[in-house]
Amino acid sequence: MMAEMKIPRVMIAAPGSGSGKTMITCGLLELFRCEGHPVSFKCGPDYIDPMFHRFVLGIPSRNLDTFFTAANRTRSLMGQACMNTAADFALIEGVMGYYDGLGGVSLQGSSYELSVQTKTPVLLVVNGRGMSLSMMALIRGFMDMYSDQMIRGVIMNRVSKAVCDRLTPLIEKQLGIAVIGYVPETEVIHFPSRHLGLMMPEEIASLREQIQKFASLLAETLDIQKVKMIANGAEPLEWDEEAVTFRGSEAAESNQAGNSEKPDGTKKALRIGVAMDAAFCFYYEDNLDLLRSQGTEIVYFSPLADEALPENLSGIYMGGGYPELHGEQLSENETMKRSIREAVEQGMPCLAECGAFMYMHEEMEDADGRCWRMVGLVPGKAVKKGRLVRFGYAVLTSEKDTILGPKGIQMPVHEFHYWDTTCESGCFEAVKPMTGRRWQCIYQKKQMLAGFPHFYFNANREMAVHYLEACRKYSHHLQSVK
């Protein structure tokens, strides 16, 4: 059965990274938040930009990734998020340059592909510093690259009003595209960066005041009515509901996995402990949504501040983040390390991604080069390399049965890390889709899987099904031995 939703929407894209997409996205979200109910999305496998969206809107931002999901499922995820938040406007922030996709030579996973698949009009942000008429050549090149491109408007960033006024009639007449306005060089907003990208919102002083001032600036320099007109011109978002619904054995297993039985015969939700603090905060919101949709209770805990894991857990899920900035505090929390270690040794299912994988080592080198004792479940040390070790998409194939599925199950993943491991053991083979480069990854100990790859459950929902089934069996085992 086809579902259809008329949702005004635009994507903020650019010729490349560093063009001002995130700042302009946040400014526009602030403007639309003040007069309605916008929802936001981030193109591609990014954790930090959605944190800024959430900081502005106060509701989760979600990722849309055309490498992870086929077109119909991508549209359904977007549509469901819009419906669940009663959104009256949707804004997508693009990734890298508009046409930059898989391996730097493919359109797969690009902002362009997402805009075409979701029929979302694009506003191209052009960093015009040091340019004038040359901006027209740049814009024309992007418009002529592919005939189905979705570019419908242009925002000139880091230019003066005079430059914008002179170029606007030329661009609109010769290129046939709307000029939304300009953003001048300004000191009212500044997003500092570190090795994984922008610093997190909570770390930036007076961020809310900065965003509010910047939004007021955009209200003066951009034609917001043009943005609305372009957004309102978006075609209805359509998707096949039947094709993205859990069916057959997948649905049956999933329904079982979400619940365990109390002694009185009633059902109770599985409790999954999710690490959430300044050291571990990189999660796809859709991953957590998928777990919740199967009857799971998410229980947050802090490896930095809490003394132990929450009680009555059926499983652990720990994401990436910045453990290297908190090495001493993580190391000194002996009771939490012991709690996690004992839980895994007793057979509790545990999924530890990237930064959490580093935390599970015997030792971890922090950002200053100092080594600290960590949980001790992964042999060896997580070491600082001073360079990007692996970046981009890969496809994993399991070489043995694990909590994510049987031997041979495949799943697309993403990696982005400046640390490496001395642990050479791995139960998955990773393959780069464009180059065919292969390596072993993900350490398995009992029912723990720990490695640098980040998983997106909607890319292969069997992952979540098998993980929750493992949690259910562990929960039943605990009840049987009590």
Active-site hit among 26, 82, 350, 354: 354
Any residues with CB less than 8 A from the CB of 160 and at least 6 apart, and which? 182, 184
Single-letter code of the amino acid located at 295: G
- 124 neighbors 14 (Cβ within 8 angstroms): yes
The CA distances from residue 214 to 13, 54, 231, 313, in Å, are 19, 17, 21, 44
Q: Give the integer Cα–Cα distance in Å for 482 and 479.
A: 5
Single-letter code of the amino acid located at 400: K
Which two structure tokens, joined as six digits, stand for 299?
């229980």
- 469 neighbors 406 (Cβ within 8 angstroms): no
Burial bucket for residue 262 (CB in 10 Å: 0-12, 13-18, 19+): exposed
Burial bucket for residue 478 (CB in 10 Å: 0-12, 13-18, 19+): middle
Active site residue 354: yes
Q: Which residues are catalytic?
A: 354
